[in-house]
Amino acid sequence: MKDRFAENDSFSFTHDTPWLAENPLGVPTEREIACFNLHRPVYRCLLQRIP
């Protein structure tokens, strides 16, 4: 999914690293909680829509 957004000129990444280590919103999603409980990695990125 990240690659698809990268191909689209309407979006840009707000960071230079491949994945964000922490949740930028500060509130974990249900998916993140499930992954943490199963000791699995969580991959996140933050995009900005370009008008």
pLDDT value of residue 47: 92
Domain ranges of the chain: 2-49
41 vs 35: CA distance, rounded Å: 7
Note whether 15 and 45 are within 8 A (CB). yes
pLDDT value of residue 45: 92
Query: Consecutive sets of 10 residues in the chain, 51 residues long: mean pLDDT of each?
Result: 91 91 92 97 93 88
pLDDT value of residue 50: 93
48 vs 22: CA distance, rounded Å: 17
